[in-house]
């Protein structure tokens, strides 16, 4: 921004901060828009679209002839990184329009951020869970879901190990993220969430003129299921604190020794958040935020800071090249000019998960 030497240094710094905030706002908007797609159940009218939530597929088990295993496509393994758990969205809960996916997401987002006391760190693609759609032909019982989850988790662990080998990096075309910062969370191995029944709910507008996600979410419920793989946790998971909020299981199947409980959706989200906070308190180095954050160049926070700074410089350079900034322009005039000529392919108005819902 040396060509703005007519402005005092503090105003140049204010302009840079203004543009960096503009860049971060746009990234946040894009992340929320992408989440809305990722939490939309597959549309049967467009089965080949890839902008819906993950869907289980079938692969042949190389170790056992004739046996097929439900799993996610290996190109989507990265979607599970830095998610506290996995939400298996059963086909029995998809008898709704696609609109209900983002509305359910809105209730989860509000509850999750309130329970953690902060919004998710989008630089890490951090969130409560990754949703995976499950057709009944692939799994329709809780033990069946646990078998699917065990295979998926083992598959992703294998992918991480392969991506850490130099020779594999050159051959793989799948998305690769630095597993120092993007990894599987221990709770994800130990606990899964199952959304298996959808209760039709049409909440009315409140006095503020908006529909509220929380009014919809409070009518939904989920199953919390322990997988039995808790060796990497600081302590075993215990559902005792949830007994007062427990709902009837509403499933006619043999659970065997599976430890499972049905609770309201928001109660389940808060419980998972409490587990994450417990693990972060016990293992501070595992937290994605905090005083231990590295200052290495490849750290996501520093990479975003660098991109935001480069964006600010590019926008000023572009406006200068177009002759839009007068040699004696004030800070207010420069701001107006840069905003007018910003890149609309990357910046847009704030996106809600669903219009008129908060």
Task: Let me know: does 242 contact 267? Beta carbons within 8 Å.
Answer: yes
- pLDDT (tens, 9 = 90+) of the chain, 358 residues, equals 666 777 888 888 888 899 999 899 889 888 988 898 899 887 666 655 556 788 887 765 555 555 677 888 878 888 999 999 999 999 888 765 556 788 899 999 999 999 999 989 999 999 999 999 998 888 989 999 999 999 889 888 887 777 766 544 444 444 567 878 888 999 999 999 999 998 887 788 889 888 899 998 999 999 999 999 999 999 999 999 999 999 998 888 888 889 999 999 999 999 999 999 999 999 988 787 766 666 777 888 888 999 999 988 888 888 888 878 887 888 888 888 887 655 544 444 456 788 778 8
Strand 260-264: give its sheet, edge to edge: 54-55, 127-134, 83-90, 191-195, 221-226, 260-264
Domain residue limits, the chain: 1-38+294-358, 41-290
Q: What is the pTM of this model?
A: 0.87
DSSP β-ladder status, 191-195 and 221-226: antiparallel
- Residue-wise over 163-180: b if at least 16 C-beta within 10 A, else e? beeeeeeeeeeeebbeee
User: Tokens for 296?
Assistant: 């290495």
Report the C-alpha gap between 288 and 213 in whole angstroms.
27
Report the C-alpha gap between 106 and 112 in whole angstroms.
10
């Amino acid at each position: 921004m040396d060509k703005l030497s007519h402005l005092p240094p503090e105003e140049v710094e204010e302009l840079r901060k203004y543009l960096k905030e503009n860049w971060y706002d746009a990234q946040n908007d894009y992340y929320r828009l992408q989440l809305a797609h990722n939490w939309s159940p597959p549309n049967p009218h467009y089965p080949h679209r890839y902008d819906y939530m993950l869907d289980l597929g079938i692969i042949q088990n190389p170790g056992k002839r004739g046996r097929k295993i439900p799993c996610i496509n290996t190109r989507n393994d990265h979607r599970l990184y830095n998610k506290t758990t996995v939400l298996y969205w059963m086909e029995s809960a998809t008898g709704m329009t696609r609109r209900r996916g983002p509305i359910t997401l809105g209730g989860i987002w509000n509850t999750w951020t309130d329970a953690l006391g902060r919004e998710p760190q989008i630089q890490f693609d951090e969130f409560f869970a990754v949703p995976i759609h499950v057709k009944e032909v692939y799994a329709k019982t809780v033990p069946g879901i646990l078998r699917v989850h065990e295979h998926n988790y083992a598959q992703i662990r294998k992918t991480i190990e392969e991506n850490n080998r130099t020779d594999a990096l050159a051959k793989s075309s799948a998305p690769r993220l630095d597993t120092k910062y993007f990894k599987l969370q221990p709770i994800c191995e130990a606990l899964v969430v199952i959304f298996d029944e959808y209760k039709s709910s049409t909440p009315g507008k409140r006095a503020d003129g908006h529909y509220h996600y929380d009014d919809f979410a409070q009518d939904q419920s989920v199953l919390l299921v322990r997988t039995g793989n808790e060796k990497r946790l600081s302590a075993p998971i215990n559902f005792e604190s949830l007994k007062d909020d427990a709902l009837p299981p509403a499933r006619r199947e043999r659970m065997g020794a599976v430890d499972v409980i049905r609770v309201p959706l928001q109660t389940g989200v808060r419980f998972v958040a409490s587990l994450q906070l417990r693990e972060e308190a016990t293992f501070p180095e595992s937290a994605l935020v905090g005083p231990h954050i590295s200052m290495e160049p490849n750290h996501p926070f520093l990479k975003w800071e660098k991109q935001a700074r480069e964006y600010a410089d590019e926008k000023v350079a572009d406006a200068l090249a177009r002759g839009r900034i007068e040699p004696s322009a004030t800070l207010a005039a420069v701001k107006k000019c840069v905003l007018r000529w910003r890149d609309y392919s990357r910046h847009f108005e704030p996106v809600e998960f669903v219009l008129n819902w908060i």
